[in-house]
Every structure is written in C-alpha cells, then in structure tokens.
A and B are shown apart, each in its own frame.
Chain A
Amino acid sequence: MQIKQTLYLTFFFLWAVSTSANEPLVVYSHRHYAADEELFASFTESTGIPVQVLKAGANELMERLKAEGDRTRADILITADAGRLEEAKAAGFLAPIQSEILESRIPEPYRDADSQWFGFTLRARVLVYAPDRVPVEDLSTYEDLADPKWRGRLLCRSSNNIYNQSLLASLIAAHGEDAALRWARDVRRNMARPPQGSDRDQIRAVAAGLGDVAIVNTYYLGLLLNSPDPKERELAGPLRIFFPNQEGRGTHVNISGGAVLKSSTQKENATRLLEFLVSDRAQEVFPAATFEYPVVEGIEWSDLQKSWGRFKADDLNLTQLGGGGKKAVQLFNLAGWE
C-alpha cells in the first residue's frame, strides 16, 4: 500500500516538476505563416521550452491585451509592422529588453531606440509589372504613379491593409499630408478597378492583362513563383519586379517584429525566443520560406531574391509609423481609396 502511495506521490512530483520546468511561452502573433510554426518547433527542440501561439489580427490582439491587463498569459507580441509595435509601446504593454545579441545583430533602424521591440524580417513594397506592356524606363517612383499616364493601368489592394497604410505613412513623412492625400487620390483614379482582393490577386490581374503595374510586397510574387501549382508558376513567370525610388529616399520597407510584454513572468525565455528569431539559423529560413528579407546583415538571400537584385531601402525611422497608420487611413478615406 505504502509503495503504491509513494509511487503516486513520485509521479505527481515528477509531473509537477516537469510542467513547471516547461511552462510554455505564449506568443500573440499577427503573422500567419507555416514557416513561423516550424521555427517555433525548432526553438522548442533546442531549448526544451514549448511555444504556444494565438494568431489573430493585430488590433484584435491589442484589444485582447487591453482586456486581459496584467493577467494576460501572453509573453511575446509579434506583429507584421512597426506601427503596431509602436502603439503597443505607447500603451505601456512592452518591457525594455537588454540583450547584446539583439542590439548587435539588428541594424538600428529596425529596432526600437528604447529596446522595447525588435524587427526580425524586412519586406519591401515594390512594383510588379508586365514587361511586354511596360518598358522599364517608364517606372521610377511611387510618386510617379500619380501621373495621368497610368490612368486605368494600376492595381492595388484595399487601404484596409496595413502595408498600404504604412506606405502612405512613409509618403506623409516624406512630403507632408496634403501631398500624400493628392497622391492617394490620383493613384486611386489611375486604378484599373476598385481595390479588391489580396496582393496575390493584384499580381494575377497584371498577369491576366487587366492592369500593367501592381503595388505589392515582394514575397507574394515569390510565393506564386514557387507555388506547387504549375498554373500559378506559369502565370507569374513573365512578370518582373521594380524597386521604386532608388534615385531618392529608397523603396519603402517595413518589418515584422516582436516584443516582450511587461506582464510576462518569463522575460528571460521570451528574450531567448526573440534572439532565436535573429539567429543565423532562423534568419536563413525567411528568405527561402516567406521571401521576406532577413534583418541581419550578411545572411544569404534566396536565389529568387538575388535575381531581383540589391536595393536601397527607405531609411525612414520606422518608429514614425506609429501614429502614421491612423492618419493614413483618414487620408485614404478622404481620397476615396476604399
């Protein structure tokens, strides 16, 4: 009898120890890629720390964090743009993190000056065009897309999308609100159809000949070109990428980034996960899996990215995107860009 009881107790003890040692890290993530899941799995494999994820829209995650307050289970917040991280910082959700690795590996424009958030991938908002209809000399800048010569030829998704909002925010930073509003109004007027669908749909419409130039993120073309579906590969094959504003301030880029929450009880492990995301091992995954650009310098790009060529990125301080998103939505409303 006593043996049995002892056994039970031992098992209970072991169970208790094992669960407390492996308390999972909880990640609230706006990113929705299969590659992320694989990275979290390999983090667990190498550290023994399990990772649990809640994927939802960035603002839904923010509302949830607000409602949960200090009681939140979340340790890390990951979003697909710097603006939202900046908002989380302003709301006082984030903890400053001292980490040599993060500071040294991530270039300055792509992390918070107060060490509260850190970017781990870069994405560029570029032009995808059909070379048989658009001579490359015709393409130059985002600003040029407002020219009447593009009437009925442009394609872009809805301004509900955060990528469009941060692009307009970068134009506001460069030229001021009035000019940005004029730009949005003219570009909307030049569109081949009202904004609809995803970036991928815009690329498809260029391939089908509905429009000549689409404003999209690079990785959507990468996904199409590497699709297991031969039809999609064929469709995207003839299209080309153009990096705008190379003569001037550079192509608009934004980050995917992560931050440790102030209420987290496992800040150390959470920091380890962020450090893992900028390790060589993880950084090498992004170019091949999601066609995003690695944030760490010296990481090899995928062949496809190499074929697109090096480009100059807009060195706009991404912290400026914080309040810019809301301003951008207002301007889009005024411009009639749905």
Chain B
Amino acid sequence: MLNRWFTRTFLQEFDLWSGTAFLLCLLILLPLSALLLGLGQRGPMWEHLADTVLSGYVLNTLWLTLSVAFLSVLMAVPSAWLLSHFDFPGRPLLEWAMVLPLAVPTYVAAFVYKQVPEAAIPFLIHLRSSHGVDTYLFAEAFLRKGVLALFMAGVLYPYLYLSLRAAFMVQRRGMIEAAQVLGRGPASVFFSIALPLARPALIAGVSLIMMEVLNDYGAVYFMGVPTLTVGIFRTWTGLGDLASAVRLAGLMLLGILIVLGLESRHRGRARFNETADDTSTPFLRRPLSARASFGALLVCLVPLTIGFIVPLAQLLHWAYLSTRHFGNTIPWQRMGHSLLLALGAACVLTLISVILIYAQRLHPVRWVRQPIRLAGMGYAIPGAVVAVGVMIFLGTIDQRFPYYTFIGSVYAIGFGYVVRFLAVGLHPVRAGMERVCGSLDAASRVLGHSPTNTLLRINLPLIRGTLLSVTMLVFVDILKELPLTMILRPVDFDTLATLAFGLANDSRIQECAIPSLLIILLATLGLFGLNRLLLPAKPRISLYEPRT
C-alpha cells in the first residue's frame, strides 16, 4: 500500500518544484511543531490555572472577540456596500481612505484611547458619590471595555472592508439588476442577495479580525482586560510554565478551528461563485440624493475617524509636545531598521508564497497540498509564542552548526516573520493565480514550455498586481509587529515598534508619539501601493481566499 503510494503519487509528482515546496514547508513547520510537541505535555501549573484564572481569560476573550467582530461588521458592511454601489461626494477619496486604519497598530491606538477612561474619572467619581460603589464599578468596567472594543474594531474593520469590497465588486450584476427590475428596493437587494452572496468574504474578513483580536497583547494589557493572550504571557513569564502557556495557545487555536468548522458545516454544500461573469458590462454606481449622500458620508466617516483620524490627531499633538518638551527628533536609525526588516521579509515571504502556490498548481496532490495548508497556521498563534518556537528550533541548529549563529541575526527574525505571516501571502497569491491565470499556464505547459519558463512568462506577469499588493500587505503587518520582533531581534537593534512600546510601557506617552507616527506614515505609504490596485472597478485581487 505504502509502496504503491510511493511509486504512484510520490515519485511521479516529485520534481524540483514539489521538492522545494515540501522542504520549505518543513522548515516553516519545524518551529511550530517544536511548540505542538509541548501541547501534549501538561505543565506544572495547568491545574492551578484551570482552578483560578482560566475561566476569566476565556470569558474576557470571548466577549472581546465577539464584540469587536460585531462592531467591525457594523463599521465595514454598510460602508463597503455604499462605496461599491452608490456614488456620492467624496466617494473616490473615501474608497481608499477607508483602508487607512490598517496603518495604526492596535497598541498605538491603545496609547491614545487610554485617555478616554482617564478623562472620565471626574464623572466616575460623581457617579460613585451619587449612585454607590456598585454602579460606579459597573460603569468603570463598561466604559473601559467599551472603549477597548470600539477602538479595536476601528483599527481592524478594514480587513473586513477589503474582503467585502472585493466580493461586492464582482457579484453577478445580472442577479442584482434582475431584482431591481422586479421591484426590490435597495435594502431588500442588499439583505436578500448581496449580503448572502458575500458570505464567504464576510466570514473570511471577520475571522481575520477575530484572529487579530486574539493575538493582541499590547492593547488589552494597556486597557486592563486580561484575555487568553495576556494569560499566555503571564503563565510563561510570571509562573515560568512555558508548557501550560503553549497549551493555552493551543486552546485558542482550537477555538478558532471549531468556529471555522461550524461555519463551513453550516454552509453545507452551498457554493459561492465569486467570479464575475459579466465584467464587460460597465458597472454603474447609483448617485445618491443630497440627504442620502450626507448619511452615506457619515456611515463611512465614523469608522474612519475612530480608527485613523483621532489617533493621528492625538499623536500629532503629542509629537509636537514631545519635540517642545523633550527635544525629540526623528529616530532615523530605528526607522532604517524597521524599513529594512519589513521590506526584506515582505519580499522573501512573497517569493516563498509564489513558490509554494505554484508548486501546488503543478502538483495538486495531498503531500504537497497539506504541508502548505499547515504552514499557514502561524497566523493563528500569538507572535511571542511563534518566537519561542523559532528560538527553540534555531537554538538546536546553532548548537550543531558552529560556523554561524542564527539566533540574534536578521535572518532569524526574518524567518520568524515568514513563519508568523505566511498565510497573509499564501491566500492572496493562490486566489490571484486561480482567478487570473485560469488554465493559461496549463496551456503553456502543453505547448512545451518548462514550468519555470511558464511561471516567469505567464503567471508572474499576470499576477504582478497581486504580488505588489501582497508584498505591501505583509510589509504593513511586519512594520506593526511587536512581540516577535522584541524577542528575536539582534543585539543593539531597535525598530520603531519596539521603541514606541518601550517608551509607552515606561509611561512616556508623549515621547512614543514620534515613532508611532512614523509607523503609521510608513504603513500608509505601503497601503497606497496596496490601494492603487484595489481601485479599478474590476478588482485584480481578492485579499483573502474565498472559501468555496
């Protein structure tokens, strides 16, 4: 049996591409499996955790994830719909501006929004004296947690906005027009056709947002809401029990898988064809009346204000104060480090994604496909935990390979980014190749071109746009990344993110404004590159693989 499998599927499909892909996946999976091995072990503190704080972590995580998801849906769905189907003043600008909150790391937003509960202290004191301690405690918690959920949704909704817009733009126009001709109003069209059709995009976007929430450490820590990620850190650093910490991370991963599994089961056999079949018909946006335009503007501006304008304005004010009071200037060296790391790793990651996905197209067999799927798992694991896995793995290599020390080199940190963010590259590259290349590359193969030749002459030129946007997306993600960078970076090597967090952690909130602003600025530049490709009516990318 094994023998047959070996000769039939393994040897037949083995070549340079599938072999390289397999090895790359193995390399990426080794640090993760170093962690998974730990998953089976019961750490010495596990029972203690289960008896005391575990339920609190789980509850906090659940309500935070769900409320951020809910608020992001409120922010992203109406704006994405309005901007794809209607025309109103400011639309062309808003269409790309809606993505800008992606440039704001959650921990930076937390520095800013932490001021809200602080500014409310006089009100809370009044409440305590007039309505008693219980009312006060409730109001305090409600305010703090509410603000947390609101600003996290404000900076994370663009994930959903992007995937929904891509979906709305390619939905079969025929269906929608037919409904309109048959007398359905815009609301009815939206709820009975557009939204159900966009369900895979909705799920993809929401699950990305939920993963970001689960991964967040900075914001929840600053706002005093201990979630599972805080618990992972506390178990690791406070109780010194890495095994239980990894187990908590595994619990989180399990939660994600269950939710995704339930969704796909609920969807059953329904298929959602997202490819446009009538892109030749020009897509007409319905102009809105003045009053409706005002409403539409408001719907778009509220999330944008929460996620981008408020943080930007406050940081600018602080940056001004910090140059005045502290004489702070631009940290050029740190900026250089951030750029070097983010750009370098983004390019490498895109290249690896192309190799993996192309190998999978050439050899659609299980032993190529499954490792690739698993290799994207790092995205669901907190950055610090990934970093520990990478360290264990590289440490083992360093002990046996005396000519070079990987830990503490730029390569180690780049490798860490690849392990953590591979999914961000894989999905759009796969979607791009499937959508754009169709069977063109197969035709080229049939006509006698080698796989490499076909890739260089057919696939790559065709998905050029996707590649650029993928690189930019990864660039932005890495620029904002904190815990992994903190643990794996070389000696004497600060980035903007580690600098900003260090200052904020030391309560030097005004001083952290300049590095925070620089992160936002560079990420915004990256998003320009991303957005340019999103604008045409016929989108060339869907950011995340539509699950069909």
Contacts and interface: CB of A to CB of B under 8 A. Distances in A.
Interface of A: 26, 28, 32-33, 52-60, 63-64, 66-69, 71, 73-74, 87, 151-152, 158-160, 165, 193-201, 204-205, 208-210, 220, 223, 227-229, 325-326, 329-330, 333-334, 338
B189 to A, nearest CB: 46
Interface of B: 45, 48-49, 52-53, 56, 114, 118, 121-122, 124-125, 128, 133, 137, 140-141, 144, 221-224, 226, 230, 233-234, 236-240, 242, 321, 325-326, 384, 388, 391-392, 394-395, 398-399, 405, 407-408, 486-487, 489-494, 498, 502, 505-507, 510
B503 to A, nearest CB: 8
Contact of A210 (B124, B233, B408, B498): B124
Contact of B224 (A63, A69, A194, A223): A194
A229 B494 CA distance: 26
Nearest to B492: A52
A210 B48 CA distance: 33
A329 B239 contact: yes
A193 B224 CA distance: 10
A32 B512 CA distance: 13
8 contacts: A54-B491, A60-B486, A64-B487, A67-B394, A209-B122, A326-B239, A330-B239, A338-B56
9 closest cross-chain pairs (CB), A and B = A196-B224, A67-B395, A228-B325, A200-B507, A59-B237, A52-B492, A67-B391, A329-B238, A333-B52
A151 B223 CA distance: 23
Contacts of A195: 224
Contacts of A60: 237, 384, 486-487
B491 A71 contact: no
B233 A160 contact: yes
A196 B223 contact: yes
A54 B237 CA distance: 18
Contacts of B53: 333
Contacts of B118: 201, 204-205, 208
Nearest to A67: B395
Contact of A32 (B144, B392, B506): B506
A227 B223 CA distance: 24
Contact of B507 (A53, A220, A325): A220
A63 B487 contact: yes
Nearest to B140: A193
Nearest to A59: B237
Given A32-B502, A32-B505, A193-B137, A53 B491 contact: yes
Contacts of A67: 391-392, 394-395, 398, 407
A69 B133 contact: no
A63 B238 contact: no
Nearest to B508: A223
A333 B235 CA distance: 10
B505 A198 contact: yes
A85 to B, nearest CB: 14
B491 A210 contact: no
Contact of A201 (B144, B395, B494, B507): B507
Contact of A229 (B48, B222, B223, B321): B321
Contacts of B242: 63
A266 B128 CA distance: 60
Given A63-B391, A198-B505, A333-B53, A68 B408 contact: yes
Contacts of B486: 56-57, 60
Contacts of A26: 491-492
